[in-house]
Amino acid sequence: MTSDFQPSLDRYSRQILFSEIGADGQRRLSESRALIIGCGALGSAQAESLARAGVGTLRFVDRDFVEFSNLQRQTMFTEQDAAERLPKAIACANHLSEINSDIVVEPEIADVNHSNIERLLENCDVVIDGTDNFATRYLINDACVKHNVNWIYGAAVGSYGVTMTIRPSATPCLRCIFPEAPPAASAPTCDTAGVIMPIINIVSAVQVSEALKLLTGKLTDLHNSLMQFDVWRNEWRRI
Ligand SMILES: [Zn+2]
């Protein structure tokens, strides 16, 4: 180790070598703030990836507690978290601080609703969807459209997943694509139809890649589509 060893740059050396990010992109990531809504399967995967990538401030919000039935796919959490029934936001903050102590984590134990969404959005460069319901997604959509904040829709159930990046100034929003939410009772959920972990990894990987492109200003590299995947039926679609 030489005297000019910089642990923070060494940490990101492989990402800086990736020319699309580079040193300038890394600096931009370190100055960015992302809001992750939901710390379940998608949200905790997004949070871990963005923390490892060095996104400077991660704000995340979830009202639930870690349960043993989460451990099959929510790789952030441990049996200890479930035994203690820790709030997911707190367990997430604990693990992220161990993974990357350079970044600032802002956990919040809350239900996201009309009364807090605009405060949560404040000063955020991107919002990432880790929720499990359409009502919250429309709430995110409307607040992001109002304040011109980019957000990345994502959902997974069974072996199927979908994601889309919404830039209010440049792309259709969620309401343009789905004017009406599917009736809550008719839409399959992870509680009724189950879910397998690989689809979580795929959806969150695409969402995080899009977040890295947005935060480093590489807008021409965004996928500009509704991406759908089914890892069991082997279907991959871009609309
Ligand atoms: Zn719209």
For ligand 1, the distance from its centroid to the CA atom of residue 43, given in whole angstroms, is 24
Residue 107 forms part of a structural domain: yes
Residue 4 forms part of a structural domain: no
User: Ligand 1 being an ion, which residues bring their Cβ within 5 A of it?
Assistant: 173, 175-176
Residue 226 forms part of a structural domain: yes
Dihedral angle at the C-alpha atoms of 112, 44, 88, 37, nearest 10 degrees? -10
For ligand 1, the distance from its centroid to the CA atom of residue 208, given in whole angstroms, is 23
pLDDT digits (tens, 9 = 90+) for 140-174: 999 999 999 999 999 999 999 999 999 999 999 99
Residue 13 forms part of a structural domain: no
Catalogue the E-assigned strands of the chain.
33-37, 57-62, 104-109, 126-129, 150-157, 160-166, 226-230, 235-238
pLDDT of residue 5: 46
Domain that holds residue 146: 21-238
pLDDT digits (tens, 9 = 90+) for 32-81: 999 999 999 999 999 999 999 999 999 999 999 999 999 999 999 999 99
Q: What is the mean pLDDT of the chain?
A: 94
For ligand 1, the distance from its centroid to the CA atom of residue 171, given in whole angstroms, is 8
Residue 139 forms part of a structural domain: yes
Residue 6 forms part of a structural domain: no
pLDDT of residue 136: 96
Do the beta carbons of residue 225 and residue 195 sit within 8 Å? no
- The DSSP output letter for 221 is G
Q: Using 50, 70 and 90 to split pLDDT, how confident is the model at 2?
A: very low
Domains identified in the chain, total number = 1
Q: Using 50, 70 and 90 to split pLDDT, how confident is the model at 125?
A: very high
Residue 9 forms part of a structural domain: no
| CATH number of domain containing 145 | 3.40.50.720
Residue 11 forms part of a structural domain: no
For ligand 1, the distance from its centroid to the CA atom of residue 139, given in whole angstroms, is 13
